């Protein structure tokens, strides 16, 4: 959506077709270069557009300091049967996102301070956590303990990856264990940034175990979908349920 803003080049006799767009939240027509200049935040209503892992790195990490670590390739551990083979889905996601998995992990500097960083890419199969994603997050915490450094995770995920079944669900337990081990053995903070959406097994495991939990405004945050919850408890949920502002009001965020 945000590639090719038209700021660097004007076509002779033509107006670039993608300079204006409609905000999905306030529905105002906004000038795309202005949105990009404002860190992909709508200038009318503060709606936060989704950012790619590369954009988050550029925003958060000191220039040319990021070193990617724990590069592990996923594979079809179950021989999952679907209309589109799992391996084909993985290849397509890798080509479109420029990363091998739904989380990019490594070490970098923020304001010249070393830290371990993990950034989820929602465009990679909904940022879902399979075996490799869980292992990379666990390795991040373990390495942070060994080097006595803080951890920053920027999370955007639909939960555990169904194509890996129980193997993906087990990573909920492993990431919780390593995050808890980090908090017990490292005197540096773990900070999680919850972006839209943060749900399912990721929300139910390491996302909320941080020393500091922050979220982008209006982000969807929760475990099960609101429809499932309403059917289960037989009640109508309050307005804004599972939005970041609701969690902030109830003490779930700082």
Is the pLDDT at 53 greater than 60? The verdict is yes
**36 with 55, same domain?**
no
Q: What is the mean pLDDT of the chain?
A: 89
Sign of CA dihedral 70, 68, 199, 95: negative
- As a whole number, mean pLDDT of residues 61-80 equals 93
**24 with 133, same domain?**
no
Nearest to 103 by CA among 147, 69, 78: 69
**213 with 106, same domain?**
yes
For the ranges 17-21, 52-56, 155-159, the lowest mean pLDDT is seen at 17-21
How many domains does the chain fold into? Answer: 2
For the ranges 21-35, 106-120, 240-254, the lowest mean pLDDT is seen at 240-254
Domain presence at residue 73:
yes
Q: Answer whether the bond into residue 76 is a cis peptide, omega within 30°.
A: no
SS3 100: coil
Whole-prediction pTM: 0.86
**93 with 154, same domain?**
yes
Domain presence at residue 204:
yes
Domain boundaries, position 123: 51-249
**189 with 96, same domain?**
yes
């Amino acid at each position: 959506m945000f590639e090719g803003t038209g700021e660097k080049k004007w076509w002779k006799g033509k107006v670039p077709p993608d300079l204006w767009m409609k905000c999905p939240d306030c529905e105002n027509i906004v000038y795309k270069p202005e949105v990009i200049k404002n860190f992909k935040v709508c200038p009318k209503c503060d709606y936060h557009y989704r950012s790619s892992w590369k954009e988050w790195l550029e925003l958060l990490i000191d220039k040319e300091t990021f070193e990617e670590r724990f590069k592990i390739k996923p594979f079809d551990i179950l021989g999952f049967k679907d209309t589109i083979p799992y391996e084909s889905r993985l290849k397509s996601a890798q080509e479109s996102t420029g990363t091998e998995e739904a989380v990019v992990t490594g070490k970098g500097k923020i304001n010249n301070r070393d830290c371990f960083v993990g950034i989820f890419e929602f465009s990679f199969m909904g940022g879902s956590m399979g075996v490799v994603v869980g292992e990379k997050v666990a390795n991040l915490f373990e390495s942070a303990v060994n080097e006595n450094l803080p951890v920053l995770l920027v999370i955007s995920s639909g939960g555990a990856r169904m194509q890996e079944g129980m193997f993906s669900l087990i990573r909920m337990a492993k990431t919780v264990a390593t995050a808890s081990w980090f908090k017990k053995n490292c005197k540096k903070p773990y900070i999680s940034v919850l972006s839209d959406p943060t749900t399912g097994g990721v929300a139910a495991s390491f996302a909320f175990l941080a020393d500091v939990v922050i979220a982008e405004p209006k982000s969807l945050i929760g475990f099960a979908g609101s429809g499932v919850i309403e059917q289960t408890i037989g009640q109508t949920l309050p307005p804004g349920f599972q939005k970041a502002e609701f969690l902030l009001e109830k003490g779930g965020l700082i």
